[in-house]
Chains A and B, each alone.
Chain A
Amino acid sequence: MAGLLLGLSLALTPAPLQAADINPVRFVLPNGLTVLVLEQHALPLVQIHALIKAGSAQDPAEKAGLANLVASLLDEGTGSRTAKQIADQIEFVGGTLAAQASEDFTTASARVLKKDTELGFELLADILRRPAFPEAELKRVRSEILGEIATEKDDPGQVAAKVFNELVFEEHPYRWPVNGTEATVPKITGRDILIFFLRQYRPNQTILTIVGDITVEQARQLVTKHFGSWKQGASPVRTARTPRPLEKPVVRLIEKDLTQSTIMLGHVGISRTNPDFYAVTVMNYILGAGGFSSRLMDSIRDNQGLAYGVGSHFEANLMPGAFFISLQTRNERANQAIAGVLTELNGMRNAPVTDEELADAKAYLIGSFPLRLDTTAKLAEVLSLVEFYGLGLDYFTQYPRWIERVTKEDVLRVAKQYLRPSNYALVVVGNLAKAKVTQKP
Chain B
Amino acid sequence: MSLSRWLRTPLLVLPFVLFLWPGTPVQASTVRESILANGMKVLLVEVPKAPVVTVQIWYRVGSRNEVMGRAGLSHMLEHMMFKGTERYPKGTFSRTIRKNGGNDNAFTSQDYTAYFENLAADRVELGLELEADRLRGLLLDEKEFQLEREVVKEERRLRTEDDPQAFLVESLFAQAFLMHPYHWPVIGWFPDLNAMTREDLKRHYDSYYVPNNATLLVVGDFKADALLPTITRLFEPIPNKPVPPPPAATEPEQRGERRIIVKREAQVPFVMAGYRMPNYTHEDSYPLTILESILSNGKSSRLYRSLVYEQKIALAVGGEYSLLQADPELFYLYAVVKPGQKVERVEQALYRELARLQATLPTAQELQRAKNQVEASYIFGQDSNFRQAMLLGQAETVGAGWRHVEQFLERIQRVTAEDVQRVARRYFVEEARTVGILIPTPPPPKSAAQGSPQS
Interface residues, chain A, with chain B CB atoms under 8 Å away:
1, 4-5, 8-9, 11-12, 14-15, 18, 40, 42-45, 75, 83-84, 87-88, 91-96, 111-113, 140, 143-144, 146-148, 150-151, 153-156, 255-260, 290-293, 298, 301-309, 328-330, 332, 359-360, 363-364, 366-371, 373-377, 431-434, 436
Contact = CB atoms under 8 A, between A and B. Distances in A.
Interface stretch (B88-96, B174-182, B204-212, B277-285): B88-96
B27 A44 contact: yes
A117 to B, nearest CB: 13
9 contacts: A44-B27, A87-B300, A93-B376, A113-B379, A148-B315, A154-B164, A156-B162, A308-B155, A370-B50
Contacts of B300: 84, 87-88, 91-92
The 8 closest A-B CB pairs, nearest first, are A367-B101, A94-B376, A305-B150, A42-B49, A292-B94, A18-B51, A87-B299, A11-B99
B101 A328 contact: no
B425 interface: no
Contact of A255 (B299, B315, B450): B450
Interface string B293-311: 0000111100001001100
Given A43-B382, A370-B51, A360 B95 contact: yes
A338 B417 CA distance: 59
Interface residues of B, number: 89
Given A44-B27, A113-B376, A307-B151, A364 B157 contact: no
Interface string B82-121: 1000010011001110111111000000000000001110
B265 interface: yes
Interface string B268-283: 1000000000000000
B99 A364 contact: yes
A113 B218 CA distance: 26
A367 B151 contact: no
B410 interface: no
A147 B129 contact: no
A43 to B, nearest CB: 6
Interface of B: 6, 8, 26-27, 47, 49-52, 82, 87, 90-91, 94-96, 98-103, 118-120, 122-123, 125-126, 129, 146-155, 157-158, 161-165, 234, 265-268, 297-300, 305, 308-309, 312, 315, 336, 338-339, 365, 368-369, 372-377, 379-380, 382-385, 443-444, 446, 449-455
Contacts, number: 231
Contacts of B123: 8, 14, 367
Contacts of B384: 374-375
Given A4-B129, A8-B100, A293-B95, A433 B6 contact: no
Contacts of A92: 300, 365, 368-369, 372
Contacts of A96: 298
A307 B383 contact: no
B101 A332 contact: no
B155 to A, nearest CB: 4
B298 A91 contact: yes
Contacts of A5: 87, 129
A39 to B, nearest CB: 12
Given A260-B157, A302-B91, A305-B148, A373 B50 contact: yes
B161 A259 contact: yes
Nearest to A94: B376
Nearest to A362: B99
Nearest to B129: A4
B268 A363 contact: no
A93 B372 contact: yes
A87 B298 contact: yes
Contacts of A302: 90-91, 147
B101 A364 contact: yes
A305 B157 contact: no
Greatest chain A CB density within 10 A among B51, B146, B369, B373 is at B51
Contact of B91 (A45, A150, A292): A292
B162 A258 contact: yes
Nearest to B454: A434
Contacts of A4: 125, 129
Nearest to A113: B376
Contacts of B52: 370-371, 374
Nearest to A137: B309
Contacts of A94: 369, 372-377
